Chain A
């Protein structure tokens, strides 16, 4: 199929050791491997080997069958989890702890916002840490609130808002932080379908508007194809790359026309079949049948 990159080619062109430092690369995963090894518990190999990179300003989605180690991957990239081997490189620097140039939007919006603070205080707190003065903080908070359409709710507490609005607050907090990479971990998994469509469009428009690099983890195939410029499909556990699918749909997307586009259907079908194969345990590093 023309819209996919052959897997073999991808695996050979990115050997982690001597990968050229591409200036246009925002995030680079080199031989990432994660095995949970807690004493007294059985060892779990979550990620076997992952190599991929994201260029500056790209919007990349990661999908995989459930249990594919998506959250493990995201937490590793965010510097919240130590890798067993390999490295994650952000803007040319290896990630060892949570890097400054990254902001994370978690799935559990209700639990990632501080309920004792107002919406404004939630967005402002990371900016305080950055050492911005009051006027600069205020300006950035107001702009972020405007971007996500929540100016009215600035002085309310998160729990006074609907789920979709709470996730908008989390997004506003992330963009006010001005990260070079925005990580989103199944951010819309817990909101209803209508809100979800709105939030997807919000992510697309913020991405275009702010030029931020976005890595969006989801289990929803439609969402991945609709949002992404690329869709990285993961295998079942222990995770390897199934395929890196280029989404060559027009940049201007909307819920109605894009989703009824014939090519959207093809891409969706392709990713769907990859996931189905991944669920059955068909994986690129598995020995060929009969071999």
Chain B
């Protein structure tokens, strides 16, 4: 990519955020409302609030819970989804149950999880995140495995690939575009649940920090928390995209050629 191309790309990526921030800055400049402080004040508060100590205390635990919950959802969703996708009988048996659980909004599960796992420690929060992330991954894996090209299955069979090799080299990569689509949905649900799970009985975490600021009328501080959340979202999306581009390079390349781009 040449210099002009790079400049144009940077402009494309940063253009809209800059415009929005400018709009916020101007619109809030003369504000005297305690709930709607000027952006300049929020920005000035930012370095005081988000010190390294606070990041270690609040951001890291939140991200760790998100990471663990998401990882559990990926492992369980992909393995269960593969099994259901490969076995028509198991699918027929489980489909109504899956639809039922999928229809339940994950935050509703919080009180139930709280009864069984408690909600002051990490366990209840991780379960909440994992359960919320599970459904999109599971259902997309089932579809991905079902949609596998039958000729590939025949090829694997006629070359005597063992079930294990078939899983690792044929089924999993074949379903991976759908698995990634599910994981992307799951990640945004996970971020939401990461915050929601901290609104109940937590003394550390980004969500907990935001609620504490709000309750103690530290409004500019509360706004900085929301900005931090947004930044985390952007960062996670970029990280996800990077992993996806690497793992699905074959798929993106193939699609590009098929579309004649």
Contact = CB atoms under 8 A, between A and B. Distances in A.
23 contacts: A80-B158, A98-B157, A98-B158, A100-B160, A103-B159, A104-B158, A106-B155, A111-B149, A112-B154, A114-B155, A116-B174, A116-B251, A117-B250, A125-B159, A125-B161, A126-B159, A129-B161, A157-B250, A159-B254, A159-B257, A159-B258, A160-B257, A173-B159
- Dominant SS among interface residues on chain B: helix
Contacts of A114: 152, 155, 169-170, 173
A220 interface: no
B254 A112 contact: no
Contact of A115 (B155, B157, B158, B251): B251
Interface in B158-173: 158-162, 165, 169-170, 173
Interface string A141-157: 00000000000000001
Interface string A103-128: 11010100110111100000001101
A160 B161 contact: no
B160 to A, nearest CB: 6
A128 B158 CA distance: 14
B160 A116 contact: no
Contacts of B151: 106, 108, 111-112
B19 to A, nearest CB: 40
A53 to B, nearest CB: 21
A78 interface: yes
Nearest to A78: B158
A98 B154 CA distance: 9
A98 B160 contact: yes
A115 B169 contact: no
Nearest to B172: A116
A102 B158 contact: yes
How many chain A residues sit at the interface, stated as a range, is 20 to 34
Interface in B94-152: 149, 151-152
A157 B159 CA distance: 20
Given A111-B152, A115-B254, A160-B257, A129 B165 contact: yes
A116 B170 CA distance: 9
A193 to B, nearest CB: 23
Interface in A81-109: 97-98, 100, 102-104, 106, 108
A126 B159 CA distance: 6
B169 to A, nearest CB: 6
Contacts of A100: 160
Given A98-B159, A125-B165, 5 more contacts: A80-B154, A98-B157, A102-B158, A104-B158, A117-B250
* Highest count of chain B CB atoms <10 Å: which of A106, A114, A157: A114
Given A100-B160, A126-B161, A106 B254 contact: no
Interface in A139-180: 157, 159-160, 173, 177
Interface string A176-209: 0100000000000000000000000000000000
Contact of A157 (B160, B165, B176, B254): B254
B162 A129 contact: yes
Contacts of B176: 116
B83 to A, nearest CB: 21
